[in-house]
Structures are given as C-alpha cells and as structure tokens.
Amino acid sequence: MSEELTGEQIKKVLNGISIPPQPQIMVDLQMEQMDPNFSLDSIAKLISQDVGLAGSILKTVNSTFYGLSNKITSINQAVNLMGVKSVVNLVNALSIKGELSDEEIVTMGKFWDSAMEIAQAASFIAKQVGYGQADEAYTLGLFHNCGIPLLMMRFKDYPAIMLEAYANPDQSVTDIENTKLNTNHAVVGYYVAKSWNLPSYLCSAIHQHHNAEKVLSSNDADGQKKTLLAILKMAEHICGNCRIIGNQDQDYEWARIEDHVLLYVGLSQYDFGTLKQQIYDMGISTGSYYG
C-alpha cells in the first residue's frame, strides 16, 4: 500500500513529535532526494539513524490512515509501505519543524551518537543470541533513551542530573531523576513511544530499561520483553552508554545486572567478551573503557 499523505495528514502525524532530527541527517536526506537514482532503501538507511525521523515514520505507518493489522517496527518496511512521495513530504515537513540552535545541536550530539551505536550493537547482538527479530532490537536501541532530549529541553540542569545519576553506585538512574524532577526519561520515553504507535512490549521495555534486574527475575514478565531488555543492556554496556551520557567510566548499573543478563541469554563471561570484541572490530563502538 502506498497512498500519498496530504499536508493536513502530515500536520496531524507531526503533532506531539518534539524530538528534532539531526541536522546532518537532514542535509544527507536532502542531497539524496536530488540524486535522480535515489532509492527508498537508501532513504530508509538514513532515516534509521535518527530517533526523531524514525519515530515519525513509524507513527505514520502505524496510524489509522494505513489501517495495518500488525504494528510495524522495521524502518525499512515502514518506508517501503509509505512510498517515495509520502516519505519525502514528511521529511521535508520535519526539516522545517526541527530547527535547532548551535548550542542545542552540541548538547544533543551525545544523545544522537549513543542512540545510533546502541541500535547497531543491539541488532548485531540479537542475531548472535538467536533472537529472530533484529529489527525490533534495533528499534529499542534507537528509541530507549528518547525521553532524554525532551527532558534536556525542558530542564536546564538535566545534564548535571544525569551526571549525578550515573555516578551513583547504589541507586538506579531513574531513581535519581525521580528525586530531582518527579519524573524520569524512561517514563517520558514510554509515552513518546506510545504516541509513535510502537508495539506495547517495546513501549514497556523502554519504560523498564533501568529496571532490568527486576524484570529478568520476574516469573510474570513477558519473555519477548525480557530478551529485548537483556539485548539492550548488553548493547548499552558495550557501547559505553554510561560514559557517553553520564561521563562515568564505571558502569554501575551493569555491575548490578550483569549476572542476571548473561544467565538469561545463556552467555558465559568468555562468550560475552568475544561478543564485545566482535562489535569493536566492526567499528560500532571503540570500547575505549571496556576491554
């Protein structure tokens, strides 16, 4: 199915989407559109590198306008379902909406870089541990921290709060946020994911991604969500999320959940070390702090 979206429909889709796209990705997409031989696959590849764009595309294709019986989690599938004109129109509308100051671009640079690395690592890990939906692992990796830029734009002291949260060896990141802000990026991310029409298990995984130990230990939690969370936490650790987002060399959260995660996915310490090295060798993450 591929019907062209009208301007009014695009306006409705963009309502509530407030994570601005990366300026460089927007430039790359504009350049791609000018190439007479551009393909939807190349457009999808660029869109899948950006949280805001990918979220808008998934929200659109999962909306009532398309009337799909199953929710789409693959960016490539979503782009192909929408077709060239609708994707280009939506991207162009976002390019107008997503203007950022130079200071905001610098501030959000770490978030964009981290989201992309973790998504790539999660997709690779999913394949290695036998999880058949690597696209879902990629989507969770890309979106799990989507609440961060929203809180960053809402609270000027949010970066300092994140530094404090990641430096605490005993409390979770979201517990510190709750104390300081009466909310946290996982809760905000959950509602953003719901507004993007992501499947409920992905929304729930985003909501609980700093509560993985409890989820993995529960007999009631959904197995699909458990596996996705385990993959995500491995990807976060390997990509040095605590260093990039929290400027912290010690990954205190991983120290608390490592045994639970590796036991759940059936990896030994040796296996996990091999997995890390494979990801470093692929250039997804440098592994500067995690040999």
Residue 165 and residue 212 in one domain? yes
pLDDT mean across residues, the chain: 83
pTM of the model: 0.75
Query: Are 131 and 264 found together in one domain?
Result: yes
Confidence at residue 150, expressed as pLDDT on a 0 to 100 scale: 81
Q: Is residue 113 part of a domain?
A: yes
Whose tokens are 């936490």? That residue is: 233
Residue 290 covered by a domain: no
Give residue 102's pLDDT. 62
**pLDDT the model gives residue 103:** 64
Least confident among 11-20, 64-73, 185-194: 11-20
**Mean local confidence (pLDDT), 126-144:** 92
Q: Which domain covers residue 158, as residue numbers? A: 102-281
225 and 184 fall within a common domain: yes
Give yes or no for residue 290 having a pLDDT over 60.
no
Inform me whether the pLDDT recorded for 5 exceeds 50.
no
Residue 287 forms part of a structural domain: no
**What pLDDT is stored for residue 260 in this prediction?**
93
Residue 152 belongs to a domain: yes
Q: In this structure, how many other beta carbons lie within 10 angstroms of the beta carbon of residue 223?
A: 9
Specify if 2 maps to a domain: no
Number of domains composing the chain: 2
Is residue 259 within 8 A of residue 237, CB to CB? The reply is no
Give the CATH number, domain containing residue 238: 1.10.3210.10
Which of helix, strand or coil describes residue 204? helix
Domain identity same for 230 and 116 = yes
| pLDDT tens-digit readout, 51-80 | 878 888 888 888 776 778 888 888 888 888
Question: In this structure, is residue 286 part of a structural domain?
Answer: no
